[in-house]
Chains A and B, each alone.
Chain A
Amino acid sequence: MKKSRQPCWTAVRSNLPCLSKSVRFLLVLPLAGLLAALASFAAEATSCAGVQSLLTATKQAFEREDLALAERTALKVHEKSPQCNEVLLWLGQVREAQGDVLSAQSLFSRYTVREPHDSKGYFYLARLIVAQQDYDRADLLTEEALSRKPDDPDVLALRGRILAAKGDNIRAQELLEKACKLAPNHVEAHFQLGRLFRQTERPLDAVVQFEKAIALEPRSPRVHEHLALTLEELGENEKAEAEYRKALQLNEGPLSDPFLDINYGRFLLKQNRLLESKQYLDRAAHQAPEARSTFYERARLDIRLKDYTQARRDAERALALPNLMGDVQDTQLFYLLVTIYTRTGEKELARKYSELCRVFSAPVKASPLPGNTR
């Protein structure tokens, strides 16, 4: 699978929010509805005088991942100074980290209405929407943000990420490189540039960017994970292993990302370290019971362990799950099921799924270059 996933803990660990796994599939308002919601809020003058220390405490609690304290402190700010708009952004981020997308969206929208000339509201809204993979709407919002602050590295990095996701790799690279130039210490810009390079088959350049990001922020598990994935692709197994281990170490805690376990479990499977692989895939299955890739990868491991009963159970479960992350296609599961049913001697089922394999095209492994080339 080896898909890069955007882990949810980024919201807290590196000040980059994304959705909780449990609400990824929630829909946000369509853009028209969003704009209408914006209009419903009256613009008021901002004033945070007298609550600065509380705002600082909110920020600190948030950065410590103490979401409950951050929330309480932010609400205090709001109570004491309802005209202080900045707290809306903090409260929005807290809600986002808690997985309350609609509430977060509402708070960011209120900020945007109250501070229409500030790019930040658009930026936070865009970031929220990116996490739901609605890149077109997020693109419009970053455009708004950039029209207000063209050289904001946060927005440039986000827009670069959005354009990369939309396949406009050339413009994405331009924006990300600009962000890195304007803010050489911008972790996110280096990270996204690394992702872009990895996506465009430039793994060596990707490694350079990930290493820069790590030098700036050594405690980000997702950067270590992406570096590990890239090194794995380059066949640098020992280095990849070390990066996976670092990522895993940093990934402990209540907001840990189960996809790291999946990627590491898959890496171990390739290395024939079957029992170790099982340990991580079992943990991923426990933590992400709705993720198709967990059970897909574990079924592949089960086959290697010749535990076809468990393989069947896992593969069938994977097939029953929606393909939310888009990382395991139905055809891959059909093929896996043929493999399993053939070995369990269930000829009819094997035949059924082999026919489905013939009807539907499987994904192609090699990444093409832009414009249907290679």
Chain B
Amino acid sequence: MAGLRQAGPSGSIFAVTDPSASQERQIRFENRQPQTGIDFVLRNGTTEDKPIIDSVLGGVAVFDFDNDGFLDIFFTNGAKIATLEKDNEKFHNRLYRNNHDGTFTDVTHLAGVAGEGYSMGVAAGDYDNDGWVDLYVAGVNRNILYHNNGDGTFTDVTDRAGVRGNDPSGKKPWSVAAAWIDYDNDGKLDLFVVNYLDWSIEGNKVCGDPGKRLSCLPTIYNGLPNILYHNNGDGTFSDVSVLTEISRHIGKGMSVALADYDGDGFTDIFVTNDTMRNFLFRNLAGRSFAEAGIEAGVAYNGDGMALSGMGADFRDINNDGRPDIVMTALTGETFPLFLNEGAGVFTESTYQLGVGWSTSQLTGWGVGAYDFNNDGYKDLFTANSMVSENIASYSHERYELSNALFENQGGAGFRNVSAEAGPAFRVPRAHRGSAFGDLNNDGRIDVVVAVIGQPAEILFNNSPNGNHWLLLQAEGTRSNRDGIGARIKVTGESGFIQYNHVTTAVGYASSSDRRVHFGLGPDRRAREIEILWPSGTVQKLKDVPADQCLKVKEE
């Protein structure tokens, strides 16, 4: 890894051999769910037959719906099988408002976001640039666009907006995830919807022995194309999947992550597929997309094998200015890490970076590359669990797994520090989607994880170090208001350089804080912050004090 924190001829100032470094790098989390008042339990409504939908739900969003400067939390939820209806409150999606004191209040019904159908994923984004973040919920039988009214309530505008997620025949395919993206840099957020399998209750297949059914492999179902909606700017969207060639590619999509990997100024789209190759949709100047996963080296693992792709994050992990990809997968597959070498190609470096051995026995869902200890290097969090509830009847695997944390060793690879990160990382559960953001604005990235059948985990980051940080909230003017797609380069006062970009499409079926976080290590100021907005505007800020949530409006 090419860490750029230069402190003289010896290179990284956080050299692995520096004894003080481990203290400065220590990461700790605490699950404060009992104290938060968040009582959400992810209900999959499973039945004896264990239909495949029951295992792949659980998207979470952290976003500031009421513009009070604090992140709120939205959970998607399942429904009754086989009706796929939320006929009971326990199946409602849930919105919790942040009370600014470590507690949250359930405002689901007040906000009108309890939802319909069997929900899976969520994407938060201000599609109409009115300054209030809207929500798109993806699901098996119902996708919903909620317009944020700015008064604590939302309105279902799905039909009016034309984003039901139907295919050209009018059939509603099973959607798992979604992402807000301004693919053509016209200043309005477009919508990408990830579809999974051609499944229906009627066509459900049953696998495993009676009494201990297992989730069927996705290989026994046909895949589906994804959908791209273009934002018309009048509250409506047009399905441009054919026009942009997105629908040419049939996949079994599970998650989506966004970044401009080739530096051409247009955001590209990475989609993990389950038991088939991943897609990397290279954005051709906002007109169409070329699927370039094979050419880029991210379609398969380094051994040329298809993975059971789950969650993904797409951002610069090694501080070289090029977005890399990390994804979760199933036991035996590792959680592959693809380093962007430039020139449009990646190299799978999972084992080289120390993530291979420690993830080969894990199955993961949510994943995020964030600098949890503010040392300037992004670490990795994964939310883990096996797929099938009854797996233990067939193998020695346990269904419930603990989450995992991999600390970036100052640019020299990763170390599994789960055992040292607090009791929360020793609790095996059926974890699913996770969302990342600073819930209490203390400069440390927190994590919210959905758990099937148990309360969600609200993991507050209480890492004990004195490192400095910046949270940067981009506000586009010519660009989309959320600034999604804006690329940010921060140079610390020491000259240490790091990169990140604005995206909410992170992990598995989930949506994270749109504010961009930077750990600054010992740097008390940023010498320079350079923002390349999707509009093409380059904006520079000089000598910015650390330890603040900084709002930057596009000039």
Contacts and interface: CB of A to CB of B under 8 A. Distances in A.
**Real complex partners, A and B?**
yes
Interface of A: 1, 200-205, 233-235, 237, 270-272, 300, 303, 329, 331-336, 338-339, 342-343, 350, 354, 357-358, 361-374
The 7 tightest CB contacts between A and B, nearest first, are A332-B304, A373-B214, A235-B357, A335-B304, A365-B305, A270-B351, A366-B330
Nearest to A332: B304
Interface string B295-309: 101011111111110
Nearest to A272: B352
A201 B331 contact: yes
Interface string B275-311: 1110000000000000000110101111111111000
A39 to B, nearest CB: 45
A262 to B, nearest CB: 13
Contact of A300 (B302, B331, B387): B302
A270 B356 contact: yes
A332 B302 contact: no
A335 B301 CA distance: 10
9 contacts: A333-B304, A342-B297, A354-B295, A366-B332, A368-B217, A369-B395, A373-B217, A374-B217, A374-B330
Contact of A338 (B214, B275, B294, B306): B294
A272 B351 contact: yes
B216 interface: yes
Contact of B219 (A303, A343, A364, A370): A364
Contacts of B15: none
B303 A237 contact: no
Interface string B394-418: 1111000000000000000000000
B208 interface: yes
A371 to B, nearest CB: 5
A336 B357 CA distance: 22
B304 A329 contact: yes
B149 interface: no
B204 to A, nearest CB: 13
B305 A271 contact: no
Contacts of A361: 276, 306
B80 to A, nearest CB: 24
A233 B360 contact: yes
Contacts of A368: 217, 219
A365 B305 CA distance: 5
Contacts of A372: 207, 216-217, 219-220
Contacts, number: 125
A362 B277 contact: yes
Contacts of B388: 373-374
Classify the interface of chain B: helix, strand, loop or mixed: loop
A354 B298 CA distance: 12
A237 B354 CA distance: 12
A163 to B, nearest CB: 17
B306 A365 contact: yes
Contacts of B351: 270-272
A270 B358 CA distance: 13
B307 A366 contact: yes
Nearest to B336: A365
| Interface size range of chain B in the complex | 35 or more
Given A363-B304, A373-B207, 11 more contacts: A201-B331, A201-B395, A270-B351, A272-B352, A336-B304, A339-B345, A362-B300, A365-B301, A365-B307, A365-B329, A372-B220
B333 interface: yes
Nearest to B358: A235
Interface centre among A201, A272, A366, A369 (most CB of B within 10 A): A366
Contacts of B358: 235
A358 B217 contact: no
Interface of B: 207-208, 214-217, 219-220, 275-277, 294-295, 297, 299-308, 329-333, 345, 347, 351-352, 356-358, 360-361, 387-388, 391, 394-397
B475 to A, nearest CB: 39
A363 B306 contact: yes
A361 B275 CA distance: 10
Contacts of A371: 207-208, 214
Nearest to B207: A373
Contacts of B214: 369, 371, 373-374
B521 to A, nearest CB: 26
A343 B342 CA distance: 11
A364 B277 contact: no
A165 B181 CA distance: 49
B365 to A, nearest CB: 14
A373 B208 contact: yes
B92 to A, nearest CB: 29
A200 B356 CA distance: 21
Contacts of B277: 357, 362
B332 A233 contact: yes
Contacts of B301: 365
A367 B356 CA distance: 17
A350 B275 CA distance: 24
Given A200-B395, A369-B394, A373-B216, A235 B306 contact: no
Contacts of A336: 304
B345 A364 contact: no
Contacts of A200: 395
B219 A357 contact: no
Nearest to B305: A365
A363 B304 CA distance: 8
Nearest to A197: B396
Given A235-B360, A366-B330, A372-B220, A338 B295 contact: yes
A233 B358 CA distance: 10
Contact of B300 (A300, A335, A342): A335
Contacts of B208: 369, 371, 373
Contacts of A270: 351, 356
A234 B356 CA distance: 11
Contacts of A202: 395-396
A271 B214 CA distance: 35
B196 to A, nearest CB: 15
Contacts of B219: 364, 368, 372
A1 B391 CA distance: 25
B331 to A, nearest CB: 7
B345 to A, nearest CB: 6
Contacts of A364: 219, 275-276, 305-308
Contacts of B357: 235, 237
Nearest to A357: B294
Nearest to B353: A272
Given A201-B396, A343-B345, A362 B217 contact: no
B307 A354 contact: no
A350 B295 contact: yes
Given A373-B207, A374-B214, A374-B387, A365 B352 contact: no
B215 A362 contact: no
Nearest to B413: A272
Contacts of B347: 303
Interface centre among B216, B294, B351, B397 (most CB of A within 10 A): B294
B387 A342 contact: no
B252 to A, nearest CB: 11
A369 B308 CA distance: 14
A201 B395 CA distance: 6
A367 B294 contact: no
Contacts of B299: 335, 357
A141 to B, nearest CB: 31
Nearest to B214: A373
Nearest to A372: B217
Given A358-B294, A361-B276, A201 B333 contact: no
Contacts of A370: 394
Nearest to B350: A270
A338 B333 CA distance: 21
A228 to B, nearest CB: 14
Interface centre among A357, A372, A373 (most CB of B within 10 A): A373
